Amino acid sequence: MIRVPGVRAMVGDVTATAPHASAAPPPSPAPPHAWWVFGSLQGYRRSWLRGDVVAGLTVWAVLVPESLAYAGIAGVSPVVGLYAAVPSLILYAAFGSSRHLIVGPMSATAALSASVVGAFAKGDDALFVTLTTAVALVTGLLCVVAGIARLGFLASFISEPVLKGFIIGLALTIIIGQVPAALGVDKGDGNFFEKLWHILTELGDIQWTTAALAVGCLAVLLVLKRVAPKVPGSLVVVVIGVLAVKVFHLDDHGVDIVGHIDSGLPALGLPGATWTQYTDLIGPCVGVMLIGFAEALGAAKTYAAREGYDIDPNRELLGMGAANIGSGLASGMVVNGSLSKTAVNGSSGAKSQVSGLTAAVLTLLTLLFLTPLFESLPEATLAAVVIAAVIELVDVEALRRLWRLATPTVRTLYGTAARYDFYAALAAALGVLLFDTLPGLVIGIILSLLLLLVRASHARVAVLVRDDAGAWVDAERASQLGRPAHPVDGVLVVRPESGLFFANADRVRSAVRALVAQQHPRLVVVDAATVPFVDVDAAEMLATLQTDLARQGARLAVARDVGQVRDELRAALDRDEQPPVFRDVDDAVASLPAT
């Protein structure tokens, strides 16, 4: 699979970065079933405490304004983001396996939540809030069930190119949803392009004070991210926005502000959804779980590789499940692991989940005592925070890289299939832009599975020739590279570059028969060196191919069958149906009688 830098592929970028030589080595990973609660704190060292507390303070400075903003993406009151943050940080620390992952509201899952809930709430604001909390609870329960069933491998079923395309489409959708708040115009409905057209028709009604504030805040965020990445830019622009409203009374000049935020702790308990509503949410919440888990697992593995410890995907599911259940029981919203906030945590010196617990305590204090400070926060500033957070996810360069990776040599060998990754990523992005977030997710998952099936069913059959050193090499590659190589008279050597099974057996048979019709060999050798497995259908295909070749005056031989391939051929075929097997291609060629 082509690795594209992104949610999961970022792991490969970080693994080459060694931990600082002066840092104390991390403790050995906990054995299975040890420390099931707060297992990530096993082997904690007192010397880590100061760094963890400082990192927790830094995470809090980013977490609070972003949680307020992401609640807006989910379509609920900003305080819901803070309600979700506190229990999710504590419960993930208790059940997750990462020492660095920061869990909380995130843009992708917030947008998915809004899409899911919007389909059921039908304009009922009270029901919208209830179902938003119910989405967190259902997603959490699904994560726990998946973790207990050891289904952590499921995240691998969304290919990285498709996931990249989905996230690009999602990021553009989030950005276009925030532009009206940044310009002070009415918000449109529909897909990305319909919202874009609505904004263009509203340009004559821009509230210029609001637009200036949003552009200024966005500029500060982008500059700080480039020149001072350790400075919590989100907190800086929140302070700027609040002070601007207080000093210049911007709310009297048409600038919308957040308004009243309830202080104190949230209501605890199950959201008031009906049993039917819970069951209706199960299907959509599977998609929310997959996207959230994929992003969380990528972030967790990144810092685990850097610090030298292991991540257990099934424990991650349990941790994400506990976090979402806690959020759902605390009137919160869906949460997942954050790549950006985990990066802030790691770069600030965190060594364990004590940093997350510190951020949870500070967020709790914010709920109890500091929410009045955020009531004068301009909506335009929150829009700028969201746009700055997701703009880097519009990774057009990743799409260009996918296109360029299909080099002329690769395209010659594989044809259109060489750019399947690019086409799949582009289709996933367009699916989100045209059909909204949830349908786009379904399109992405289907594309991932289709991509797997297409690749499996289009097994390439390479023709091998002998080079000047006597090695058997791919004829087309040798020609592309200008390396001298020559066929052996009367012999056709082919190498299927895939496992052989029901989906590609007939294609391989047809490809070999077409080559035989062109070259008229007396011996056809199937080099099984790159065939990791065969199934019954493929074994019977080889028996049928042997009969086909015999009618054309050629013999079939198999070279270098090992392990499962050898065992399956012997088990599936009668002795008289089995083609002769040789240790290597040279032995098979030597068996050809002289003419």
Residue ranges of domains in the chain, CATH in brackets: 40-393 (no CATH), 459-591 (3.30.750.24)
| Token pair 């590609």: residue | 504
The mean per-residue pLDDT over the stretch 135-155 comes to 90
Q: Which residues contact 495 (CB under 8 A, 6 or more apart)?
A: 461, 462, 463, 464, 474, 526, 527, 529, 530
User: Which pLDDT does position 410 carry in this prediction?
Assistant: 52
Averaged over 413-440, what is the pLDDT? Answer: 76
Q: CA nearest 107: which of 59, 172, 189?
A: 172
End-to-end CA distance of the chain: 45
Q: Is a pLDDT exceeding 80 seen at residue 245?
A: yes
User: What average pLDDT does range 234-244 have in this prediction?
Assistant: 89
What is the enclosing helix (H) or strand (E) of 338? strand 336-338
Q: Measured between alpha carbons, how far is 329 from 320 in angstroms, rounded to an integer?
A: 14
Which range is most confident: 95-109, 127-141, 244-258, 387-401? Answer: 127-141
Overall residue count recorded for the chain in this entry? 595
Q: What is the mean pLDDT of residues 328-338?
A: 94
Using alpha carbons, list the distances in angstroms from residue 168 to 19, 134, 162, 562, 594: 31, 27, 10, 43, 62
Task: Supply the pLDDT for residue 563.
Answer: 66
Segment 64-75 mean pLDDT: 89
Q: Count the neighbouring beta carbons within 10 Å of the beta carbon of residue 555.
A: 18
- Asked whether the predicted pLDDT for residue 567 surpasses 90, the reply is no
* Whole-number pLDDT of residue 565: 72
The per-residue pLDDT for range 551-566, each reduced to its tens digit, is: 988 999 998 876 667 7
Predicted confidence (pLDDT) at residue 28 exceeds the cutoff of 90: no
Q: How high is the pLDDT of residue 334?
A: 97
Residue 6: pLDDT over 50:
no
**What average pLDDT does range 219-243 have in this prediction?**
87
The pLDDT value recorded for residue 326 is 97
Is 32's pLDDT higher than 50? no
Compare 509 and 482 and report the one with higher pLDDT: 509
461-467 and 472-474: which strand pairing?
Answer: antiparallel
> How confident is the model at residue 80, as a pLDDT?
95
Mean pLDDT of 481-500: 86
Beta-sheet pairing, 491-496 with 485-486: unpaired
Contact, 436 vs 195, CB < 8 A? no
Is the model's pLDDT at 54 over the cut of 70? yes
Q: What is the pLDDT of residue 5?
A: 38
Contact indicator for 98, 313 with CB cutoff of 8 Å: no
d(CA 20, CA 13): 17
**Residue 26 scores a pLDDT above 60:** no
pLDDT of residue 494 exceeding 90, the answer is: yes
Cα–Cα distance, 584 to 581 (Å, whole number):
9
Judged against a pLDDT cut of 50, whether residue 9 lies above it is answered with no
Stronger pLDDT, 231 or 30, i.e. the higher one = 231
Counts for the chain of helices (H) and strands (E), in that order = 23, 9
At residue 15, the pLDDT reads: 32
> Above 60 in pLDDT, residue 470?
yes
Give the pLDDT confidence score for residue 595 in this predicted structure: 59
Note the pLDDT of residue 530.
Answer: 85
Residue 39 pLDDT greater than 80, yes or no: no
Query: DSSP strand E in 419-533: where?
Result: 461-467, 472-474, 485-486, 491-496, 523-527
Instruction: Count CA atoms within 13 Å of residue 308 on its CB side.
Output: 11
Asked if the model's pLDDT at residue 456 lies above 80, the reply is no
pLDDT at position 406 is 61
Distance CA 237, CA 239 (A): 5
528, 562 Cβ separation under 8 angstroms: yes
Largest CA distance in the chain: 100
Highest mean pLDDT: which of 18-27, 82-91, 144-153, 201-210? 82-91
Give me the pLDDT at residue 417, please.
53
Sort 313 into a burial class: Cβ within 10 Å, 0-12 / 13-18 / 19+.
Answer: buried
Whole-angstrom distance, CA of residue 96 vs CA of residue 413: 44
18: pLDDT confidence band, cut at 50, 70 and 90?
very low
370 Cβ neighbours under 8 A, 6+ residues apart? none
Q: Which stretch of DSSP H or E encloses residue 246?
A: helix 233-248
Predicted confidence at residue 562, as pLDDT, reads: 65
* Mean pLDDT, the chain, integer: 83
